[in-house]
Amino acid sequence: MSSWIIAGTALGYLLLLSLLAWSAESVRKKRKSWINNGYVYALSMAVYCTAWTYYGSVGRAATSGLDFLTIYIGPTILCALFWPVLLKIIRICRTQGITSIADLVSTRYGKNFSLAVLVTIFCVMGVIPYIALQLKAIATSFDLLAGTTGNTNQSIWKDSTFYGTLLLTIFILFFGTRSVDAAEKHEGLIAAIAFESVIKLVAFLAAGLFITYGVFNGFSDLFQQANAQPRLQQLFTFQENNAYTSWFSMLTLSFFAMLFLPRQFQVNVVENLDENHLKTAGWVFPLYLFVINLFVVPIALAGSVLYPGATANPDLYVLNIPLDQGRHLLSLLIFIGGFSAATGMIIVETIALTTMISNHLALPLLFSTNRLHQESRRNLSAVVLWVRRGSILLVIGLSLLYDKLVAEQYSLVSIGLVSFAAVAQLAPAVLGGLYWKGASKNGALAGLAAGFICWMFTLLLPSLAGAGLLDNSILENGYFGISWLRPDALFGLTSLDPVSHSLFWSLLLNSGLFVLVSINGQKGTRETFQAELFVDFLTKEKFEVEPAAWKNTANLPALRLLLQNFIGSERAVSLFQKYASRHQIPLNTTTADPRLVQFTEKILAGVIGSASAHILVSRVAKAEELSMEEVLNLLRESQQMMELNKELRRKSAELTRVTEQLSALNRQLMAMDEMKDEFLYTVTHELRTPLTSIRALTELVHDNPEMPENQKTEFLAAVVRETERLSHLITQVLSLERFESGKQPLELQTIQTKELLDEALSDIQPLVQQKKLRIQTQLTHPFQLIELDPILVRQVLYNLLTNAIRFSPESGTILFAAEVSGNHLEISVSDQGKGIPEAALELIFDKFYQAPNQTLKKPEGSGLGLAISKKIIELHTGNIRAENREDGGARFIFILPLSQINL
């Protein structure tokens, strides 16, 4: 295929990326960012899958079997199970304005300068090979596609790697240094990275599908052919014992890589727009890893079957197979997929490294020479930007150099593992710093340095020696000819593979020194303070940096000028005003409030890193270094404050609850009050009726002396009856009131059931005779003893019986029954009247309830009888109800417990 077509396609692809990045940036300005969602975040995390995944996994699978998978299991475990670690880091970095992994380590240990430098150098050394690996992947895939041979000796001007790198550099320069504030998000870039993740996935799946179904006849055909080769069979089973250690160390490496690789830190933490996206990423990212690995084994097997005599580079099977099948368009797509995997990594890694180099190496160097300080009136943001651009060129240049000098000799995966092992060294300092207050700056320094040196001796230098850049004899005879210093068998440990071996020794030394030095050493005050902040970050909600902890005062204009120099006067002034109004700090003084000093430092940290920011701010601010005791006091105070706050919140919640209860009670009382009002109104209404008759009739008798005698007698008789009715009503109302208010105690006696019934019957005898009714009694246990208030229950029976009598037709029958069931007595009164409307069966127990649709009022009733009866039964913890008999007529039933004692 013509080189020009391939190069043109790659260029077109880069232009497309730029367009995408540019449109994402412009959308962001409208504050409605379509990249602000968990899927884009998860896809940007997939920058984890580089050319190593794209080409190298197949290569690894073809040579070492399934252990390529470990590289993806580590991050899956992290995202699915250990995401709180990531969340904690994200939150800390947001509050403290941290922009890189070096910044994180340095900030945790008291904004220590040396630590930032150490981590930066370490990351650069560790990651440059990894970037070189990507360049190598682009170049080899290009050469394979173009049919040229990658000749290292040819002039750099004819080298495809060089041109590709140049284009990429321009892209990074443009989108990576648009804003001076490194804490600001690169939305455009992230959009591009997420897009690249999609492209590489699609391309790889296309390759996998083509090879499995186009070249072979599906999975079963492929596996059958592969099974025929004993070498391949062997490949996919655990063979030696140390396969397990190798698996474990790879898993550990990839777990740490997902956390600490500068590019992962960049996308996971710095570019995180919303911590809720972490939840989506928790399943989308592992899913992505799963899908992209689906066809690794099939492709590796296919390659091994098709090129049995190692006639092709296993790393390039994925491209080689379609190409040999004459599928040029597909091959081009696969090349672009690999190109996107490589470029995505290079872009993000370069930006992450650039932030570190400029903030922790270049800028502090510039600021420590006083030249810049004197020129502080100049716009320093331009300086920062140029330093960044320089750093980008430096990183890319170094990678290119490493690629030319070393990378030719190694496979993709082995270079990647060297990088992974490097960043794994950050684990003790970072994780220890996040969860152990005792971790100290010196411990971190000692551990990191030891781990770093160990890594250099066991992995980096051997790789250089392998490339012929160092004396090859160290591989055979050990450093300085000492055999127990052999890089792959330190202290005679020979049973591990080189990576596990390196990881074992470096992490052992690293964490050992870290812990030992931390325990034994003294800690500075600032360090102690940061330790509190980091470790207690999630437990103490919203534990913001407590600026008053540092009695920094500064000349306000000088402070403002400092900030202006980096972010421009307009933004500096507006930030100051916003912060001042939020915390009610006066801005018209000459001495700046300590909080303002702290704020300035945080903003500057976002631009130039915390260590540099600290240096610059302390130049204008007079920092009064606090004694350890003072810091501890401050911390204690803030803790007390917090406890007080918690207590207050608890109290206030309690208060709210009580208020709610009170208002509920109030509503209830008001409802009761209303009911009471209504009751009183009804009572007065009921009282008025007999009163009306009495008054009218007596007035008439009084005013009309000539009234005939019989009429006068009739009137006076009515007056007497109405007076009786009135006093009966008053008695009823008063007794009901007594029952309801609980003022009426039960006067309990134990009597025989028969006795109770007999007395009730004798009460109503005259009425029965009057209406010629028949009363039929049924009594199952006449001598059953029952405990109750006989007077009150007799009143109930009287009410029920008189009701029955009132509604019975002439010479009807009333059934009066009592039976004992269990420990209850059930008494019922049934009549042969017209029954009760269904809807009224419950309402009739309400006070003054009048059955509707009766055309004649029954002047005998007070309207309170049933209400009082119900109350009395309830006082005996019994219940009463009304029902209609099947053959017409109503039945009232009440149930009483035989004994009141256990109630």
Partner 1 sequence: MPGKKILVVDDDPYILMSLEFLMQKNGYSVVVARNGTEALQLVQQEIPDLVVLDIMMPDIDGYAICEFIKKQPALNHIIVVFLSAKTRESDQRKGLELGAAAFVFKPFSTRSLIKEINQLLR
Query: Does 722 sit near partner 1 (CB under 8 A)?
Result: yes
Question: What 3-state class would DSSP assign to 394?
Answer: helix
Please say which residue, 839 or 903, places its beta carbon nearer to partner 1: 839
Q: Is the dihedral of CA 40, 45, 47, 50 positive or negative?
A: negative
Cβ neighbours for 617, distance < 8 A, ≥ 6 positions apart = 552, 554, 559, 562, 597, 600, 601, 604
Burial grade of 491 (CB within 10 A; 0-12, 13-18, 19 or more)? exposed
- Report d(CA 129, CA 433) in Å as an integer: 28
Asked if residue 729 binds partner 1 (CB under 8 A), the reply is: no
- Distance between CA 291 and CA 49 in Å, rounded? 12
What is the Cα–Cα distance from 99 to 694, expressed in whole angstroms? 97
Give Cβ neighbours of residue 664 (< 8 Å, ≥ 6 apart).
none
Footprint on residues 830-889 left by partner 1 (CB under 8 A): 850-857, 859
Smallest distance, Å, CB 693 to partner 1? 4
The reply to whether 718 sits near partner 1 by the rule CB under 8 A is: yes
Query: Which amino acid is it at 855?
Result: T
Q: How far apart are the first and last CA of the chain?
A: 99
417 vs 496: CA distance, rounded Å: 15
Contact of 51 with 134, CB cutoff 8 Å: yes
Residue 727 CB, nearest approach to partner 1 (Å): 16
Stretch that binds partner 1, among 399-407, 577-585, 679-687, 750-758 (CB under 8 A): 679-687
Among 148, 179, 409, 689, binds partner 1 (CB under 8 A): 689
Between 48 and 715, CB nearer to partner 1: 715
Got the DSSP string for 861-897?
--S-HHHHHHHHHHHTT-EEEEEE-TTSSEEEEEEEE
User: Shortest distance, CB of residue 862 to partner 1, whole angstroms?
Assistant: 14
Contact with partner 1 (CB under 8 A) among 691, 817, 820, 841:
691
Show the DSSP H helices in 621-744 as ranges.
628-703, 709-741
Asked if residue 249 binds partner 1 (CB under 8 A), the reply is no
Distance CA 810, CA 833 (A): 10
Q: Which is nearer to partner 1, 770 or 854 (CB)?
A: 854
One residue of 574, 692, 731, 749 binding partner 1 per CB under 8 A: 692
- Applying CB under 8 A, the span of 171-179, 265-273, 688-696, 832-840 interacting with partner 1 comes to 688-696
The nearer residue to partner 1, 721 or 885, going by C-beta atoms, is 721
Contact 419, 127 (CB under 8 A): yes
For residue 711, the minimal CB distance to partner 1 (Å) is 8
Give the residue with the Cβ less far from partner 1, 714 or 842.
Answer: 714
Residue 697 engages partner 1 in binding (rule: CB under 8 A): yes
Number of amino acids touching partner 1 (CB under 8 A): 31
At its nearest, how many Å lie between partner 1 and the CB of residue 854?
Answer: 5
Q: Are 145 and 330 in contact (CB under 8 A)?
A: no
Q: Per rule CB under 8 A, is residue 803 in the interface with partner 1?
A: no
293-330 burial: b if 16+ Cβ within 10 Å, else e: bebbbbbbbbbbbbbeeeebbbbbbbbbbbbeeebeeb
Nearest distance from C-beta of residue 852 to partner 1, angstroms = 7
Amino acid symbol at 635 = L
Residue 205 interacting with partner 1 (CB under 8 A): no
How far from 261 is each of 182, 392, 426, 679, CA to CA, in Å?
A: 17, 17, 9, 80
Token readout for 105 is 């380590």
Would you count residue 704 as binding partner 1 (CB under 8 A)? Answer: yes
Smallest separation (angstroms) from partner 1 to the CB of 648: 49
Among 468, 681, 724, 727, binds partner 1 (CB under 8 A): 681
Residues 379-438 that bind partner 1 (CB under 8 A): none
Looking at beta carbons only, is 374 or 855 nearer to partner 1? 855
Of the two residues 787 and 860, which places its CB atom closer to partner 1 in the complex? 860
Nearer to partner 1 among residue 9 and residue 689 (C-beta): 689
Supply φ then ψ for residue 84, to 5 degrees: -60, -30
CA diameter of the chain: 152
Q: Which is nearer to partner 1, 542 or 857 (CB)?
A: 857
Q: How far is the CB of 686 from partner 1 (least distance, A)?
A: 8
For residue 110, what are the CA distances in angstroms to 134, 529, 638?
36, 8, 19
Binding of residue 685 to partner 1 (CB under 8 A):
yes
Q: What is the Cα–Cα distance from 682 to 690, expressed in whole angstroms?
A: 13
Window contacting partner 1 (CB under 8 A); options: 128-136, 228-236, 312-320, 683-691: 683-691
8 Å CB contact between 486 and 498:
no
Query: In angstroms, what is the minimal distance from the CB of 721 to partner 1?
Result: 8
Rule CB under 8 A: say whether 676 interacts with partner 1. no
Q: Is 705 in the site for partner 1 (CB under 8 A)?
A: no
Site stretch for partner 1 (CB under 8 A), options 80-88, 180-188, 515-523, 700-708: 700-708
Q: Which of 693, 795, 803, 832 binds partner 1 (CB under 8 A)?
A: 693
Is 715 a binder of partner 1 (CB under 8 A)? yes
> Taking the complex as a whole, how short is the minimal distance between the CB of residue 578 and partner 1, in angstroms?
59
Q: Are 390 and 471 in contact (CB under 8 A)?
A: no
The verdict on 724 binding partner 1 (CB under 8 A) reads no
Give the whole-angstrom CA distance, residue 387 versus residue 462.
33
Q: Which is nearer to partner 1, 384 or 697 (CB)?
A: 697
- Contact residues for partner 1, defined by CB under 8 A: 681, 684-685, 688-689, 691-697, 699-700, 703-704, 711, 714-715, 718, 721-722, 850-857, 859
